[in-house]
């Protein structure tokens, strides 16, 4: 039996006002029809975290960014059903898209939940979070803006900690070298629940832009 053809992003954009596939800076005030604070989730997976936090904070605008086609289609379907007017989905690699889509000092919060750890040493170079990326997200945060990260991979967690603490404009909210032990004030992603149920340790990092 022939497989069902995939829906193109052009078709998704036509059918849903919540999907954006753009290569230029949007006027986010026009997109959301308000000037509410902006928050970004990088790599939203099945969308559980993004949808829950957007529902919890209707006074904020949320952008979810991912390059996994199947996941994007599923999340768009859920957002369409819920008519979540404070949420937009963007396709693309965060390392390229963030510079295009957001002005400096325009984001209140950035969430990065369980980025691919690429655990084999020869693949470390593929990891998302490197010093140039830390510089990028720092520039996009407002003064007092925050970045929240979660990973279950210890070596990646230590690497991320080093990279973020080396950025002069960022401060570890719990103190130098300290990971957060739990995160009860934010929704849990699908992966987070899986790791917790399996008894795995999760490393949480919270940083704030101080200037």
Cβ(21)–Cβ(9) below 8 Å: yes
Calculate mean pLDDT across residues 188-197: 86
Q: What pairs with residue 146 in β-bridges?
A: 109, 208
Instruction: Look up tokens 């995160």; give the residue.
Output: 183
Calculate mean pLDDT across residues 16-29: 90
Q: List Cα–Cα distances, 63 to 31, 32, 39, 56, 87, in angstroms.
A: 11, 11, 6, 15, 6
Hey, what are 159's tokens? 């690497």
The answer for residues whose C-beta is within 8 angstroms of residue 49's C-beta and 6 or more apart is: 41, 111, 113, 186, 187, 188, 189, 192
Q: What is the pLDDT of residue 146?
A: 98
* pLDDT digit string, tens, across residues 135-152: 999 999 999 999 999 999
Question: Is 185 a residue of the active site?
Answer: no
Nearest to 209 by CA among 145, 130, 161: 145
Give percent of the chain with pLDDT exceeding 90.
Answer: 72
- Does the reported pTM lie above 0.75? yes
- Alpha carbon 182 to chain centroid, angstroms: 19
Q: Catalytic pick from 15, 93, 116, 162?
A: 116
Residue 190: pLDDT band by 50, 70, 90 thresholds? confident
Q: What is the pLDDT of residue 71?
A: 85
Q: What is the pLDDT of residue 2?
A: 44
* pLDDT digit string, tens, across residues 79-125: 999 999 999 999 999 999 999 999 999 999 999 999 999 888 888 88
**Statement: residue 65 has pLDDT above 80:** yes
Q: What is the pLDDT of residue 14?
A: 54
């Amino acid at each position: 039996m022939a497989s069902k053809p995939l829906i193109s992003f052009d078709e998704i954009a036509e059918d849903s006002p919540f999907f954006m596939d753009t290569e230029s800076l949007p006027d986010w005030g026009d997109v959301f029809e308000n000037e509410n604070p902006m928050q970004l989730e990088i790599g939203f997976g099945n969308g559980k975290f993004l949808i829950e936090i957007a529902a919890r904070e209707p006074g904020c605008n949320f952008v979810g960014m991912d390059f996994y086609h199947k996941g994007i289609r599923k999340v768009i379907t859920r957002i369409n059903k819920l008519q979540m007017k404070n949420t937009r989905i963007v396709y693309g690699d965060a390392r390229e898209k963030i510079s295009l889509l957001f002005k400096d000092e325009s984001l209140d919060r950035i969430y990065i939940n369980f980025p691919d750890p690429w655990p084999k040493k020869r693949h470390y170079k593929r990891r998302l979070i490197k010093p140039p990326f830390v510089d990028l997200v720092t520039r996009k945060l407002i003064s007092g803006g925050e970045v929240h990260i979660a990973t279950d991979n210890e070596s990646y967690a230590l690497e991320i900690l080093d990279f973020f603490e080396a950025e002069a404009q960022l401060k570890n909210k719990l103190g130098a070298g300290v990971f957060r032990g739990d995160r009860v004030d934010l929704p849990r992603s699908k992966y987070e629940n899986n790791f917790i149920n399996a008894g795995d340790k999760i490393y949480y990092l919270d940083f704030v832009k101080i200037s």
